[in-house]
Amino acid sequence: MVRSRRFQIAIDGPVGAGKTSVGKAVARRLGMRFFDTGLTYRAMTLAALERGVRVDDPSALAHLAAHVQIDVRDGAGAETRILVDGQDVTDELRSVEIDGSVSAVSAVPAVRRRMVEVQRAIAATGSIVMAGRDIGTVVVPDADLKVFLTAGDETRARRRYEEMGSHSDASSYAEVLDGLRRRDRIDSEREASPLRPARGARIVDTDAMTLEEVVTAVCEMAGAAMAAGS
């Protein structure tokens, strides 16, 4: 259990590196809240698709970001629920269509600025584990612990493919691998908040590690950071 002072853990990394699974498990073990910031960008992408806003039109996306209302609520079992203009859309955010468009939407500077406002407001609520692609570099650069998870393309694609397996519109493994590499390129080359390890981040290569091993490693890092700051 964490101490009374607010403690923030930032977990960044590319798609399929295990950020969400690791973040949730670490938060449970340490008695903290968990938030996957990628859900806010997925919610924006869903809003754009439903409203007929082209994901390759930065001006239209900026206008949408300024007017759409994205809220975060704790659901049953502390599960994070995402609302767009008051409607719970959480169960719609993992579709292949959103997977294929979210990087383009999140690359728009005005969209990122608006989503960072939402994410920082959540971070200010108390001790939290936040996962994303720019948590340690932009959202909470003063986080007590910054971790950057990574793994090879094929490992990450396999994980993502297995995660999508229960969806009726799941793509083939080859399509998932191709989409992952495209998203990596967009995320790393975008002008606004490109994907990269934050200064002082602990880099963890998860290729040859089990989920439990990664969680244990991050919890040990957190324990050391808490002890150093006490």
Q: How far apart are CA 118 and CA 124, in angstroms?
A: 10
| The predicted structure's pLDDT at residue 70 | 92
| The predicted structure's pLDDT at residue 141 | 96
| The predicted structure's pLDDT at residue 168 | 41
| The predicted structure's pLDDT at residue 119 | 92
Q: Which fold has domain 8-221?
A: Rossmann fold (3.40.50)
* Residue 99 burial (CB count, 10 A): 23
| The predicted structure's pLDDT at residue 6 | 86
Beta-strand ranges (E) seen in the chain are 8-12, 33-36, 70-74, 80-84, 87-88, 128-132, 145-150, 202-205
Domain boundaries, the chain: 8-221
The pTM score is 0.86
Q: What share of the chain is helix, strand, coil (3-state, %, to 5)?
A: 50, 15, 30
| The predicted structure's pLDDT at residue 85 | 94
| The predicted structure's pLDDT at residue 1 | 47
Contact 41, 102 (CB under 8 A): yes
| The predicted structure's pLDDT at residue 170 | 54
Q: How far apart are CA 115 and CA 43, in angstroms?
A: 10
Q: How far apart are CA 55 and CA 210, in angstroms?
A: 36
* Sequence-separated (6 or more) residues with CB below 8 Å from residue 223: none
Please give the chain's pLDDT, 230 residues, in tens.
445 578 999 999 998 899 999 999 999 999 998 999 999 999 999 999 999 999 999 999 999 999 999 988 876 655 678 999 999 999 999 888 898 899 899 889 999 999 999 999 989 888 999 999 999 999 999 999 999 999 999 999 988 888 776 554 556 888 888 888 988 888 888 877 888 999 999 999 999 999 999 999 999 999 999 998 76
| The predicted structure's pLDDT at residue 142 | 95
